[in-house]
Chain A
Amino acid sequence: MAGEKEIIIRTEGLTKKYGEKTAVDHLNLSIFQGEIFGLLGPNGAGKTTITLMLTGLTEPTEGVAYIGGKDCTRDTMEVKKTVGYMPDNVGFYPDMSGRANLRFTAALNGLDKKMAEERIEELLYRVGLAEAGDQKVGTYSRGMRQRLGVADVLMKDPKVIIMDEPTLGIDPEGMRELMLLIRELAQKEKRTILISSHQLYQVQQICDRVGLFVDGRLVACGTIEDLAEQTREDSRCLTEVCVEPADARFMEILRGLDGVYSVGREGRRYMVGFGSDISNKVAEAILHEGYTLISIRPCGNDLDEIYRRYFEKAGHDDGSSGRKVKRFISRNR
């Protein structure tokens, strides 16, 4: 599958050290034309450093990175012409209006005036800031600034878009709109998008492929299904069941079922581990015993589950990072 598509971002042994600390450790990564790739990892995993190296804002200590065949360190100007970068906590000049900020970006990119104005109109409309375009950015809310950031990135009509934590601090509705917009950019306009995030849930909705990072190392890379496959132990499954009333007897009933080898309880939620899929059997048992079934959900195919399982497997040799990741996942649940 990989062979057919054109590789647009490629890194070879990319390494960055800040003094003693290695932020990124020999990263080899290939990203294909037109896909949405998610860089995932806890804070301090080196995601931002990777994005900075790809845009030529930081020099790697070792290794090379190419975007569209151009060296990101040596040919920075050419790379910056085709790559749009949205930093985390994207900032604008607060005393200038949104429109003026975009105009400045257009000027920096050497767009001609008429084209710039047209594009500003179009982009402001597209990110839903058409009415707020003439307000000063200082009055914008965080979500509005983030959307202006997207418009800003699109000003230069980039082939590749790199976004660092684009979902940070936006409300759920804003997040949904942003995700729709990002998906549209990739699918309709064939742009390649690289998103770094620690919010697993949002990212898994739109990413074609993801890479998991811990302490500067890429520990897993592939589609979410691939990763689920890779980390699934002995074809065990985990299902989350919610019933009414939730009591201790229900745990006994679950334990009594064929094929179930573990049952855990967190308030009203029961986590059931079993060898083969027995959702039907569980449902039958619930109804039979006079409980009301509220929800039954297979776990394991979403990203945080993959994450957790991955580090349960890999975390033993490196206790500190394992703990860190567990804490990180429990925060994100």
Chain B
Amino acid sequence: MEAAVEKLKDLFPVTARSGGKKEKNIGLWALYQKEMADHIHSKRFLLILGLVVVTSFASLYGALDSISSAAEGTDFLFLKLFTTSGNSIPSFVSFIAMLGPFVGLVLGFDAINSERNGGTLNRLLSQPIYRDSVINGKFLAGAVIIFTMVFAMGGIFSAVGLLTIGIPPEAEEVGRIIVFLLFTGVYMCFWLGLSILFSVLCRHSATSALAVIACWLFFTIFISLLAGILAAALFPVEGWEGLFNVMSNYKCELYLNRLSPYYLYGEAVTTILNPGVRSIGLVTTAQLEGAVAGYLPFGQSLLLVWPHLTGMCAMTLATFVLSYLKFVRQEIRSS
């Protein structure tokens, strides 16, 4: 084994030498710390944090109100806290699905263009740091903030819920909640990546904020309309051919919808928080025949949403990589 390593080192002398003493990336850490401090002190972030807290508690209140009727005959009572909606108040999950994009937006929409407009970008880059440290540091700080916030929120929400209903969650429920929070973090990171991408592309921060809001509207509302129209156009369900098309039509609409991170997140989270969901997508009666009604084990639920997690991670990475490439290649002097 060691001989093989030595042989490899002979093949790549430069990498071997630099690999010996690992240089600490000073610039990245300094930037990361500064960005963290900026986020925590910024009024914008406090505002969105306040909004998230208020809506969470509103949804908790709504859920507690109607949980007694929803709880009949369920085993996973604790998870119901997250998914039950009150009379007029949406559930925690749907609130987060709506607000998540805003968290990403607030943290990232002026990441690069404010530096550029404020004249700090070229001063920053003339320090001995790598150029990518700037964008890496910003994304990293945003992601850490997001995950901290999400897990803190989840913790507080569960704690308050636990105090009120008095039924402790089972280990499986805790596991499901943690996976749900992980999903939420990744979902928000996607929006963070998207807003950083627009902050690289647009010169003004107002433009980039509007662009992100436009994307949010498109993905939450319009893509489902569009998917329906497209599916109907490609596979019409009227008349006798509708009999053959009904399956393709449904699949087409579903796949188009799944392009939206909003839909993807909603589907995944519903599955993970509701063990009663046994499959996603189309199920024929033939497939259901002879099936024993019951809950899906945690592992199987996880398996069901694994593609969703992969897809969301891929989307997040794609937006980040795009902004990374664009930023590194961009001329410093944009005027």
Residues of A within 8 A of B (CB): 18, 48-49, 52, 55, 57-58, 77, 80-81, 83-87, 89-95, 104-105, 107-110, 149, 152, 156
* Residue B41 is within 8 A (CB to CB) of chain A in the complex: yes
Q: How many A-B residue pairs have CB under 8 A?
A: 73
B119 touches A89 (CB 8 A): yes
Bound-state CA distance A49–B119 (Å) is 16
CB within 8 Å of A: which B253-276 residues: none
B332 touches A52 (CB 8 A): yes
B122 touches A110 (CB 8 A): no
> In the complex, which residues of chain A have a beta carbon less than 8 angstroms from the beta carbon of B34?
104, 107
B119 touches A108 (CB 8 A): no
Bound-state CA distance A92–B117 (Å) is 11
Smallest distance from the beta carbon of B120 to chain A beta carbons, Å? 4
Inter-chain pairs besides A57-B125, A58-B331, A84-B126, 14 sampled, C-beta below 8 Å: A49-B333, A57-B122, A83-B126, A87-B126, A89-B119, A90-B123, A91-B119, A92-B118, A92-B123, A95-B42, A108-B26, A108-B127, A109-B127, A156-B128
Smallest distance from the beta carbon of B126 to chain A beta carbons, Å? 4
> In the complex, which residues of chain B have a beta carbon less than 8 angstroms from the beta carbon of A92?
118, 120, 123
Bound-state CA distance A79–B303 (Å) is 52
What are the nearest 8 A-B pairs in CB distance? A91-B119, A85-B126, A107-B30, A110-B26, A108-B127, A80-B128, A91-B118, A91-B120
> In the complex, which residues of chain B have a beta carbon less than 8 angstroms from the beta carbon of A80?
126-129
Bound-state CA distance A93–B38 (Å) is 10
Bound-state CA distance A105–B120 (Å) is 11
B129 touches A108 (CB 8 A): yes
Bound-state CA distance A308–B317 (Å) is 57
Bound-state CA distance A107–B42 (Å) is 21
* Residue B64 is within 8 A (CB to CB) of chain A in the complex: no
Quick one: given A87-B119, A95-B41, A107-B30, are A48 and B333 in contact (CB under 8 Å)?
Answer: yes
> In the complex, which residues of chain B have a beta carbon less than 8 angstroms from the beta carbon of A156?
127-128
Q: Which of A52, A55, A84, A108 has the most CB of B within 10 A?
A: A108
For this complex, 8 residue pairs linking A to B, each with C-beta atoms less than 8 Å apart, are A49-B333, A52-B332, A57-B126, A58-B331, A77-B130, A85-B126, A91-B118, A108-B31
> In the complex, which residues of chain A have a beta carbon less than 8 angstroms from the beta carbon of B26?
107-110
Residue of A nearest to B115 (CB): A91
> In the complex, which residues of chain B have a beta carbon less than 8 angstroms from the beta carbon of A104?
30, 34
Q: Which of A91, A93, A95 has the most CB of B within 10 A?
A: A91
Bound-state CA distance A85–B128 (Å) is 11
- A109 CB contact (under 8 Å) in B118, B128, B332, B333: B128
Quick one: given A48-B333, A52-B332, are A108 and B128 in contact (CB under 8 Å)?
Answer: yes
* Residue B33 is within 8 A (CB to CB) of chain A in the complex: yes
Bound-state CA distance A48–B335 (Å) is 12
**Cβ contacts B276-297/A at 8 Å (1 or 0 each):** 0000000000000000000000
A108 touches B27 (CB 8 A): yes
Bound-state CA distance A199–B27 (Å) is 35
- A108 CB contact (under 8 Å) in B41, B122, B124, B333: B124
CB within 8 Å of A: which B293-335 residues: 331-333
Chain A interface, >50% SS class: mixed
Smallest distance from the beta carbon of B162 to chain A beta carbons, Å? 39
> In the complex, which residues of chain A have a beta carbon less than 8 angstroms from the beta carbon of B333?
48-49, 52, 58
- B118 CB contact (under 8 Å) in A84, A85, A94: A94
Bound-state CA distance A298–B39 (Å) is 60
- B128 CB contact (under 8 Å) in A57, A81, A87, A89: A81
> In the complex, which residues of chain A have a beta carbon less than 8 angstroms from the beta carbon of B128?
77, 80-81, 108-110, 156
> In the complex, which residues of chain B have a beta carbon less than 8 angstroms from the beta carbon of A57?
122, 125-126, 332
> In the complex, which residues of chain A have a beta carbon less than 8 angstroms from the beta carbon of B124?
108
Bound-state CA distance A52–B129 (Å) is 16
Bound-state CA distance A205–B126 (Å) is 28
Residue of B nearest to A145 (CB): B119
B123 touches A152 (CB 8 A): yes
Bound-state CA distance A329–B206 (Å) is 39
Smallest distance from the beta carbon of A216 to chain B beta carbons, Å? 14
Bound-state CA distance A229–B101 (Å) is 67
> In the complex, which residues of chain B have a beta carbon less than 8 angstroms from the beta carbon of A18?
331
A105 touches B126 (CB 8 A): no
**Cβ contacts B17-34/A at 8 Å (1 or 0 each):** 000000000110111011
- A55 CB contact (under 8 Å) in B42, B120, B126: B126
Bound-state CA distance A61–B207 (Å) is 31
> In the complex, which residues of chain A have a beta carbon less than 8 angstroms from the beta carbon of B125?
57
- A90 CB contact (under 8 Å) in B30, B38, B119: B119
Bound-state CA distance A87–B41 (Å) is 28
Bound-state CA distance A107–B127 (Å) is 10
> In the complex, which residues of chain A have a beta carbon less than 8 angstroms from the beta carbon of B122?
52, 57, 85, 87
CB within 8 Å of A: which B95-139 residues: 118-120, 122-130
Quick one: given A49-B333, A57-B332, are A93 and B130 in contact (CB under 8 Å)?
Answer: no
A91 touches B130 (CB 8 A): no
Residue of A nearest to B42 (CB): A95
A87 touches B123 (CB 8 A): yes
Smallest distance from the beta carbon of A251 to chain B beta carbons, Å? 47
Residue of A nearest to B332 (CB): A57
- B127 CB contact (under 8 Å) in A49, A52, A94, A105: A105
- A85 CB contact (under 8 Å) in B119, B123, B331: B123
